[in-house]
Structure 1
């Protein structure tokens, strides 16, 4: 499942995938794969992304039940 919440938060901060990747110490491809739902990041990477985007784990990585 695509992580549109992550992409939206990144765009709202006016960050490219590359800029976010540099902030959290991973490759641009890793950020792209997380947004596409093709990579399951470690908890420490999730926390680093949340800090960089000023969001919580719930904001970015919790799937809402329908």
Structure 2
């Protein structure tokens, strides 16, 4: 899975810590998400997408290998 979190954070001027605070997560979680090393819960994915006024599908890009 790839994400556009880092790009949207830059657009909105958020640090990882800012975003983490807004969605009730740890900064490390945001870092792992950005690196594709962590799959978020649906609740967290929705919260992050809401911060940027985009859909979950816009923010998280799933690849075929993610479903194997």
- TM surpasses 0.5: yes
Segments of structure 1 that go 5 or more residues without pairing to the other structure are none
Give the alignment's TM-score, normalised by structure 2.
0.84
Which structure's residues are more often strand, by fraction? 2
Q: Which runs of 4+ in 1 moved over 3 A?
A: none
Segments of structure 2 that go 5 or more residues without pairing to the other structure are none
CA RMSD across the alignment: 1.6
Structure with the larger RCO, 1 or 2 (CA within 8 Å, 6+ apart)? 2
Give the alignment's TM-score, normalised by structure 1.
0.86
Larger Rg: 2
Count how many residue pairs are aligned between Structure 1 and Structure 2.
64
